[in-house]
Structure 1
């Protein structure tokens, strides 16, 4: 995994040219971040500042896919040795699905605890060994998709109950990913507001009915003004 290297020059173009020379590649093959645009100063003397950039080679998509697959394969092999792992780089986080028929239940675990643990370990390894790769979401037998749909339906049901009773509803403790699903599902409901509550990685989501503001009728407002 390539690390960023810093380069300086009298301007950004010169700094980038030095980066291309260092990596022996074209500009389009580099991931470049401009740290400072530089300044010519007054008459090219006072206040002169050099431009600074940092650059590294862009990751080859095939290499990224293979690295992610190898990491997940090594973690799941003791549980599901014959599984097929598919990596979808077009999604963020990277979506990794495990096709496994015989050992899918064992791989998922009770309430998804096993697959969540494997996902956590995989992301820790990726962060350490491949810092340029984004996080992954691990799925097996479409468990994540079914779980996401279940959470959405739960959110909608709790929202309806909150509006009907006028009371605040709350979910069970959820991960940040699942809390986000709740918030996004209900964000367009004008009669509901949501808020996370608790400490640590697992928090509940409060689903609260919005208080209706009482509007005075025109005749009531006119009477008050003439008093």
Structure 2
């Protein structure tokens, strides 16, 4: 978005001063301007003449556009009490939301928060500016969600090894699917892949056919009458990690839904 002011003055400097005052710019503010016309003095002090006219304009930065959009959306959701705290880094901006009504912003399993982040990123990156990563968070919700998904991925990976059966998860966005894939990749003997299209795309976790399965169907009694684990007596938590297994790329490193062009 471009903010501008067109003003006239006795000369160019006078017109600039009036335009800057109209935009509320101080002496240290950055701005651009163009001279629409230069002043002309009256002939013989009576005839002709014209004032100088300039156009002063400033462009919103990507993070300013994003913050304004986010505030407008929250206001239209009648969530005026929700506060926005902005922190910027090189090619990245994070908005942290707080307030009593912030639960309405999160939505079911974070779906509203995800959608809000996606739209805010679209607004921020609409233009010729360098791409920036936009994150919309509330407290440490995303960190907690990521930890929950990691635990879920490992739990279902060990279940796949134990039972020899695959499990389909609920549909998730690319970012969350990638968290699941990364967690499963750390468990030797299990693999994960994605199925479905668009909003129905989900992760499936199953046993790795390339890895020998020691047991199927749970625990069995050993010769002494005791119970041993499905993995040849070894605890599942000590399963080695295969260094050659690379996590699937389900969203990249640029944001919740990947880079937006």
The interval holding the TM-score normalised by the smaller chain is: 0.5 to 0.7
Alignment match, 2:125: 127
Q: Secondary structure at the match of 1:128?
A: coil
Q: What are the ranges of 5 or more consecutive residues in structure 2 without an aligned counterpart? A: 2-59, 214-261
Alignment match, 2:19: none
- Give, in whole Å, the separation in 2 of the partners of 1:92 and 1:203: 29
The yes-or-no answer on 1:71 pairing with 2:69 is yes
Q: Count the aligned residue pairs.
A: 155
- Give, in whole Å, the separation in 2 of the partners of 1:67 and 1:144: 23
The answer to whether the 8 A contact 1:69-1:86 is kept is no
Alignment CA distance shift 1:157-1:93 (3 Å): farther
Q: How does 1:52-91 map to 2 (within 5 A)?
A: 63-79=61-77, 80-90=79-89
Greater alpha carbon shift after TM alignment, 157-166 vs 105-114: 105-114
Q: What are the ranges of 5 or more consecutive residues in structure 1 without an aligned counterpart? A: 2-61, 215-227
Alignment match, 2:171: 173
Q: Secondary structure at the match of 1:132?
A: coil
Alignment match, 2:95: 96
- Give, in whole Å, the separation in 2 of the partners of 1:93 and 1:169: 36
- Give, in whole Å, the separation in 2 of the partners of 1:89 and 1:197: 36
Q: Given the two structures, how large is their TM-score scaled by the length of structure 1?
A: 0.58
* Greater per-residue helix proportion: 1
- Give, in whole Å, the separation in 2 of the partners of 1:208 and 1:136: 34
- Give, in whole Å, the separation in 2 of the partners of 1:86 and 1:199: 36
Q: Given the two structures, how large is their TM-score scaled by the length of structure 2?
A: 0.51
- Give, in whole Å, the separation in 2 of the partners of 1:156 and 1:92: 33
Cα offset for 1:201? 4.1
Alignment CA distance shift 1:143-1:201 (3 Å): same
